[in-house]
Amino acid sequence: MKNKFSHIQIRGAKTHNLKNIDVDIALGKLTCLAGPSGSGKTSLAFHTIFQESKRRLINSFPSDIKFFWDIPQTADVDKIEPVLPVWSLPQHNPVVGARPSMGDLMGLTEKLQQLFFFLGMNHCPEHNLPYKKSKHWTKFASTLKQDDSVLHIFLDQTDYKTHLKTSIMPVRSFDDDIKAISGFRAEDKWWEITRIKSRDFKDKVETKLNEMELNHFHGDFRIISSDGKLDTVLSAASERSCPKCHEAEAQEITHFNHLSPYNGIGACKECDGHGMILKYDREKLVKDPSLTTKNGAVSVMNYKSFLPWRNDMFKAFKRQGLDLDKPFKQLSEKKWKLLYEGDGAYPGFNDFFEYLESKRYKTHVRILIRSLKSEFLCPSCSGSRLSSKLNGYAIDANGLIFWHKIIGMNLGALLEQLTIIDKYCKKHPHFNKVSKVLADLLETAQTAISLGIENLNLSKKVKHLAAGQYQRVLLTKLLSFRGSGSLFVLDEPTLGLDENEIQKVIECLKDLRDQGNTVLVVEHAPDFLKACDEIIEMGPGAGIAGGSITYQGKPKVAGKYKFDIVKKKNFSNFIKVKDAPGPLDWCFDYEIPIEGITVVTGPSEGGKRQAVLELLENWSVDKDSVTAEIEVKQEFDKVISFAAEASKVTARSTVGTFLGLSTYIRKHFSELPVSKAMGLKEGHFSYNSELGKCPSCEGRGIIQIDMNFMEDVLLTCEDCKGMKLRTYYAQIRDGHQSYHEALNRPVLEAFSQVPTTAKAKKILAAMETLKLGHLSLDRSLQSLSGGERQRIKLLAQTLVRMKPSLLMFENISFGLSPIDLEAVYKYLQRLREQAHTLILVDQHPYLREMADISLEIQ
């Protein structure tokens, strides 16, 4: 039956700053949401369409399944029809778990398990020969001396009576009490069935057992030599062993899940399948080795729990001849032995840690222990997460391809190995079972390489992926989707990509569209806007000035956005770098002008971060830790690197608390005559304080009602009317505005009548420059758009007082429209005028135009 809908109809969308808008999004098309940062694009795409679609999808599941899901709240919209199954690509990496790897996220791990299970087999790790089935006799015979000594073979008398089809009694028996072979006695446990000379054992044992029809017996035999020196029990069952050394297979693989690091059989026993282990970290025990021991270099001994032993530690250092007034890093290595093992009254770290582990049932102790530990590569599995019993599992494709190695390869190497398997394994009897799986793996690897992530390892932890890396990994998975009738909502999928990679993303999204799916993208890249089927522009401004649709239709041929660019052309000093390390062990040289703005471009994962950001950051910490030659004639006060990752913020984090502006408002209202008359302090105007927060809703402004198997219901608190504070505090006025009004109106309006300090004026001026004046102090950071959050973070990190410094930014254009970029550029100009040196690692073409110097790394 033909679908009666041609569009997704959204009616009465009022989420955040959306102004009760109605919009139709064409089904089966690639639609792009554009407009200034904060204009409502994310509110419409994610907080309305995606959130409501996901909520209804989860609610369609049985109660026992959806019970474990985090069901989104109902979106503030009157109608969405039709509601499609939905997939999303967020702006940031939300994963904090220690177990998932990049291969898991992409769905590659399970497919590779299937491929290896059907096409591979276990091999002897020493001889690389496949295990073959053989009796236990084979290995036992290889250990015997080739002489005339006699070996007696016994059966348990119960097995003898059950399995030996004869009425003849044995000649000999063996008793465990007297430990000797004697003439047959019926009461003895072991009855003899035959005897063979040692040199004939290998050739005759199978024949003898077959004659007695014991070839299908799977119990135990006992073999004892005449002199009693050899006494062993052997199983009659077959085992898989190496045909050369006869070493038995450590673990038989009977299901593809046995190859999984999430399975008890497949997981490394030391790290439990994590690939990393937690150990007490010297760098956390001694945070600043440039300090002297007396001045607190051994930072862990400054903790309240360890303070009583600090003087004992000092005495132990003196006894060992270690100078307390000398920088810790200059002391001999015996300092560590002393710190760990102790001396005299000082017990040592080992005793401290043992005591802490015995108290880890207490929450605060667990927090302390974790703060002193770091992740280190597991020595048993080297990060593969797999049991050592799987080290020999491999596919023979004109050479062995090992499972534990392929699961830790980068995507480029993976594609090479998959191509070899595809070439040489087509005649394998089980190839048809995994041909589709292999085709999917090849396609996914090829897509990943086209997006520039070929150097990322499958074993890399998801939580360690940068925002751009996480997006491209997840994008690779989404672009491999095979199906129709779904909705894909993506937030800036071009983050960190160059022009060629952007074109590949566009092609893949069009393929998704052509399969019968609907693709909705929040995007600012000019090339992307030209390639979509339809554009919906939000605006006209940000915050309360946005939330409306200003244009919907075919992509417009717009002129290039013109910036007022002031470039600095003459530089006298440079950061000169020679032999900067890049990927694949190649090196190159470059120069960065001091007190200038440099933009570094090049393919994603092409070495920009490694060769510039990481190199200069490591050099600033320890100049001896880098291999490159770096010449800098000017001393920097600070070297700071700003990444594009979204800060981990709580639900209570607001613009005011993040920038420190709320303090000025609280102080202003606490000093009013009416407040002084009531004895109010600043804490009475904070909903994070017991003095001021509404006791009914705990300062949240809403009451959350748990509905068990249904989504939770959120109701405005009746006592504080959503103001979060006790009502009579929130409604105190200064003659122009109430406290609640000051928190919820645009920040520049709120401070227009509030006396401030020079620092507050500096923050407000910077907010105006960055076009953030529309935000309110009480605006939750979680509700901000990506561009707003990026600029807030930029502002917060550059407000600190500092002398000329080196400031490095990665993907600073994240979430920004051309108008927003112009505001950021003006702010960067101001930083340059303060004699700071700025390095921007970014692909945006507008930033290349604005920069004083453009450095391309291929």
The CATH number of the domain holding residue 736 is: 1.20.1580.10
CA distance 601 to 831: 21
Average pLDDT over residues 201-215: 80
Q: Which of 198, 159, 154, 195 is nearest to 175 (CA)?
A: 154
Residue with the larger pLDDT of the pair 811 and 547: 547
| Number of CB atoms found within 10 A of residue 661's CB | 23
CA distance 831 to 640: 13
Task: With H, G, I as helix, E, B as strand and everything else as coil, classify residue 79.
Answer: strand
The 8-class DSSP code of residue 738 comes to: B
Report the mean per-residue pLDDT for the chain: 86
| Claim to verify: residue 283 and residue 340 sit in the same structural domain | yes
Q: Where are the beta strands (DSSP E) in 350-453?
A: 373-377, 393-396, 400-402
CA distance 437 to 425: 13
**Per-residue pLDDT tens digits for 476-494:** 888 888 888 999 999 888 8
Res 22 pLDDT > 80: yes
**Per-residue pLDDT tens digits for 314-333:** 999 999 888 888 888 888 88
Amino acid making up residue 83: V
In a domain, 107, yes or no: no
In a domain, 464, yes or no: no
| 385-389-391-397 Cα dihedral, nearest 10 degrees | -120
**Confidence class of residue 798 from pLDDT cuts 50, 70 and 90?**
confident
Q: Which of 789, 805, 795 is nearest to 838 (CA)?
A: 805
For residue 169, the enclosing domain spans 132-241
CA distance 379 to 372: 20
**Confidence class of residue 763 from pLDDT cuts 50, 70 and 90?**
very high
Residue with the larger pLDDT of the pair 799 and 828: 828
- Please tell me the chain's helix, strand, coil percentages from 3-state DSSP, rounded to the nearest 5: 35, 20, 45
How many domains is the chain built from?
A: 5
CA distance 352 to 364: 15
114, 437 contact by CB (below 8 A) = yes
Res 517 pLDDT > 90: yes
| Claim to verify: residue 623 and residue 701 sit in the same structural domain | no
**Confidence class of residue 420 from pLDDT cuts 50, 70 and 90?**
very high
- What do you get for the CA distance between the two ends of the chain, in Å? 52
Q: Which of 411, 458, 355, 533 is nearest to 103 (CA)?
A: 458
738, 730 contact by CB (below 8 A) = yes
- Kindly list the distances between the CA atom of residue 102 and the CA atoms of 109, 205, 438, 454, 477, in Å, as whole numbers in the listed order: 9, 53, 18, 12, 11
839, 807 contact by CB (below 8 A) = yes
Residues in a beta bridge with 780: 654
**Confidence class of residue 843 from pLDDT cuts 50, 70 and 90?**
confident
Last residue in a domain, options 351, 377, 403:
377
Which pLDDT score is estimated for 1?
42
Task: With H, G, I as helix, E, B as strand and everything else as coil, classify residue 130.
Answer: strand
| Claim to verify: residue 82 and residue 180 sit in the same structural domain | no
**Per-residue pLDDT tens digits for 331-351:** 888 899 999 998 888 999 999
Check the CA dihedral 182-185-188-192 and report its sign.
Answer: positive
Assigned token pair, 745: 């109106």
| Number of CB atoms found within 10 A of residue 526's CB | 16
Res 753 pLDDT > 50: yes
**Per-residue pLDDT tens digits for 400-414:** 999 999 999 999 999
Sort 89 into a burial class: Cβ within 10 Å, 0-12 / 13-18 / 19+.
buried
Residues in a beta bridge with 661: none
User: Among 5-14, 302-311, 666-675, where is mean pLDDT lowest?
Assistant: 302-311
Q: What is the CATH number for 173?
A: 3.30.190
180, 228 contact by CB (below 8 A) = yes
Residue with the larger pLDDT of the pair 537 and 94: 537
CA distance 805 to 435: 56
Q: In the β-sheet with 534-539, what is the strand arrangement from edge to edge?
A: 86-89, 487-491, 518-522, 30-34, 534-539, 548-553
The 8-class DSSP code of residue 72 comes to: P
Res 653 pLDDT > 80: yes
User: Going by DSSP bridges, is the β-strand pair 86-89/837-841 parallel, antiparallel, or unpaired?
Assistant: unpaired
CA distance 45 to 88: 10
Q: Which of 396, 505, 403 is nearest to 111 (CA)?
A: 403
| Claim to verify: residue 81 and residue 145 sit in the same structural domain | no
209, 203 contact by CB (below 8 A) = no
| Claim to verify: residue 149 and residue 173 sit in the same structural domain | yes
CA distance 36 to 22: 19
261, 386 contact by CB (below 8 A) = yes
Q: How many CA atoms lie within 13 A of 444 on its CB side?
A: 29
**Confidence class of residue 423 from pLDDT cuts 50, 70 and 90?**
very high
Average pLDDT over residues 793-810: 86
| Number of CB atoms found within 10 A of residue 38's CB | 34
Q: What is the CATH number for 41?
A: 3.40.50.300
| 461-467-470-471 Cα dihedral, nearest 10 degrees | 180
Of how many residues is the chain composed?
858
In a domain, 455, yes or no: no
Sort 425 into a burial class: Cβ within 10 Å, 0-12 / 13-18 / 19+.
buried
Which pLDDT score is estimated for 504?
85
The 8-class DSSP code of residue 257 comes to: G
In a domain, 116, yes or no: no
- Kindly list the distances between the CA atom of residue 75 and the CA atoms of 47, 70, 462, in Å, as whole numbers in the listed order: 7, 15, 29
Phi, psi of 92 (to 5 degrees): -130, 170
| Claim to verify: residue 680 and residue 542 sit in the same structural domain | no
| Number of CB atoms found within 10 A of residue 358's CB | 9
Last residue in a domain, options 220, 241, 262:
241
**Confidence class of residue 393 from pLDDT cuts 50, 70 and 90?**
very high
Which pLDDT score is estimated for 796?
86
CA distance 520 to 517: 10
In a domain, 166, yes or no: yes
**Per-residue pLDDT tens digits for 775-784:** 999 988 888 8
Last residue in a domain, options 534, 553, 572:
553
User: Among 60-64, 512-516, 667-671, where is mean pLDDT lowest?
Assistant: 60-64
In a domain, 521, yes or no: yes
Residue 617 CB partners (closer than 8 Å, separation 6+)? 639, 641, 808
Which pLDDT score is estimated for 584?
60
Residue 195 CB partners (closer than 8 Å, separation 6+)? 150, 151, 152, 153
CA distance 47 to 538: 15
Res 646 pLDDT > 60: no
Q: In the β-sheet with 587-593, what is the strand arrangement from edge to edge?
A: 587-593, 574-581, 629-631
454, 605 contact by CB (below 8 A) = yes
| Claim to verify: residue 640 and residue 785 sit in the same structural domain | yes
**Per-residue pLDDT tens digits for 656-715:** 999 999 999 999 999 999 999 999 999 999 988 999 999 999 888 888 777 665 666 778
| Claim to verify: residue 536 and residue 596 sit in the same structural domain | no
Give, for 121, the enclosing helix (H) or strand (E).
Answer: strand 120-122
Q: What is the DSSP string of 539-568?
A: ESSSGGG--EEEEEESPP-PPPPP------
User: Residues of the chain with pLDDT > 90: what percent?
Assistant: 34
| Claim to verify: residue 237 and residue 140 sit in the same structural domain | yes
Q: Which of 442, 444, 451, 440 is nearest to 417 (CA)?
A: 442
Which pLDDT score is estimated for 534?
95
CA distance 409 to 109: 12
| Claim to verify: residue 40 and residue 59 sit in the same structural domain | yes
Residues in a beta bridge with 754: none
In a domain, 442, yes or no: no
Which pLDDT score is estimated for 742?
94
CA distance 316 to 359: 27
Average pLDDT over residues 426-440: 93
Amino acid making up residue 786: G
Phi, psi of 179 (to 5 degrees): 55, 50
| Number of CB atoms found within 10 A of residue 32's CB | 24
CA distance 9 to 30: 16
Task: With H, G, I as helix, E, B as strand and everything else as coil, classify residue 298.
Answer: coil
In a domain, 858, yes or no: yes
Average pLDDT over residues 241-262: 83
Which pLDDT score is estimated for 583?
65
| Claim to verify: residue 216 and residue 299 sit in the same structural domain | no
| Claim to verify: residue 147 and residue 235 sit in the same structural domain | yes
Task: With H, G, I as helix, E, B as strand and everything else as coil, classify residue 701.
Answer: coil
CA distance 597 to 718: 53
